[in-house]
Amino acid sequence: MSFSIGVIGLGRMAQAILSPLLEIGHFKANEIFAVVGSNESVPKVINEFHSDLEVVSSQDPSASQVWDAPIKLLAVKPQQFHLIKEKSHSNFLSSSKKSLLISILAGVSLEKLQSAFPSHNCVRAVPNTPSIVRAGLTGLSWGDDVDEEERLLVKAIFKPISDVLELEEDKLDAFLALTSSGPAYVALIAEALADGAVAAGLPRKLANHLANCTLAGSAKLLKEKDLHPAELKDMVASPAGTTIRALRHLEMAGVRSALIEAVVLAAQRSRELG
């Protein structure tokens, strides 16, 4: 069988990319061939993600078929990169025509990818989890030999689920630290806000709902009105009011500095993983 895309690693981020693409019909299940790390992972992925997907473990002899697909999505953990390189080596050396490899591995450079996969034109992609609901962000950096047709093909994969930005590779770690790790920071803030509302007297379910709506509405206002965050803050905080008192406490607690350092540390860790 001929597959349009071979997926090496089918964790949460790969699923966040493929799930909406399958939902909108950008790919059909029979066009995807996926390899996961262990035999135990196969039924779990099939049952929890997509029952019609062709999924095998890396120990299965048929796993080598993934390297026959014209497009590969490399989505293992960065720490597993050397294992994929070793296992794939014998498979791609015989290929005379370069195919396309899209890596979503944090920190692993194009230079390392091109060295490890010389029979592929390599692309680094940094997507984020809101891609699941087609509200994601994806940063792309191109290998030296990626031509315009291949660039359009890669962008066509990510555009239905995210805003796509083409970036110089040295910007990707910071992009990841903000956009890819960012949903976790936002989730932490949402949880803390809801906890505060519960402490102030609201029921838990209502507090969670209101916190989520407040974050979503604020983000929409910032984006659609193209506001600087300080403008929105000043719109809300009136003299000697409730908001300015709360903001004063947040500043004294170092919330702003903590968020800045969180992004910086995530970018540093991305570089370390590479």
Rounded average pLDDT per 10-residue block, the chain, 274 residues = 83 95 93 91 86 88 90 92 67 64 95 92 97 97 95 96 97 97 98 98 98 98 97 96 97 97 97 87
DSSP-assigned letter for residue 264 = H
Instruction: Residue 22: count other Cβ atoms within 10 Å of its Cβ.
Output: 19
- Look at residue 47 in the predicted model and tell me its pLDDT: 86
8 and 69 in contact (C-beta within 8 Å)? no
CA distance 249 to 133: 34
Q: Supply the pLDDT for residue 49.
A: 85
For residues 132 and 136, give the distance between their C-alpha atoms in angstroms, rounded to a whole number: 7
Domain count along the chain: 2
16's CB contacts (< 8 A; 6+ apart) are: 127, 129, 131, 132, 136
Pick the last residue of a domain from 117, 143, 167: 167
- Give the closest residue to 137 by CA, choosing from 104, 106, 165: 165
- Predicted pLDDT at 90: 47
Query: If you count them, how many residues does the chain have?
Result: 274
Residue 176 lies in a domain: no
**Residues in CB range of 40: below 8 A, 6 or more apart:** none
Domain end, chosen from 167, 192, 208, is at: 167
- Contact call for residues 92 and 67 (beta carbons, < 8 A): yes
Q: Report the alpha-carbon distance of residue 76 to residue 116 in Å, rounded.
A: 15
- Indicate whether 131 belongs to any domain: yes
Task: Decide: 52 and 30 in contact? Cβ < 8 Å.
Answer: yes
Q: What is the pLDDT of residue 46?
A: 86
Characterize the bridge pairing of strands 136-142 and 120-126.
Answer: antiparallel
Does residue 157 sit within a domain? yes
- Residue 103 backbone zone (phi > 0: left; psi -120 to 50: alpha; other: beta): beta
**Are the C-beta atoms of 122 and 114 separated by less than 8 Å?**
yes
Amino acid 96: pLDDT: 57
Pull the structure tokens for residue 86: 């070793």
On whether residue 174 sits in a domain, the answer given is no
End-of-domain residue from the set 125, 144, 167: 167
pTM, to two decimals: 0.90
Question: Which H or E run includes 92?
Answer: helix 81-92
Whether 148 is in a domain gets the answer yes
Distance of CA 111 to the CA centre of its chain: 21
Residues 153 and 203 in one domain: no
Query: Could you give the angle at the alpha carbon of 75 between the alpha carbons of 179 and 4, nearest 5°?
Result: 115
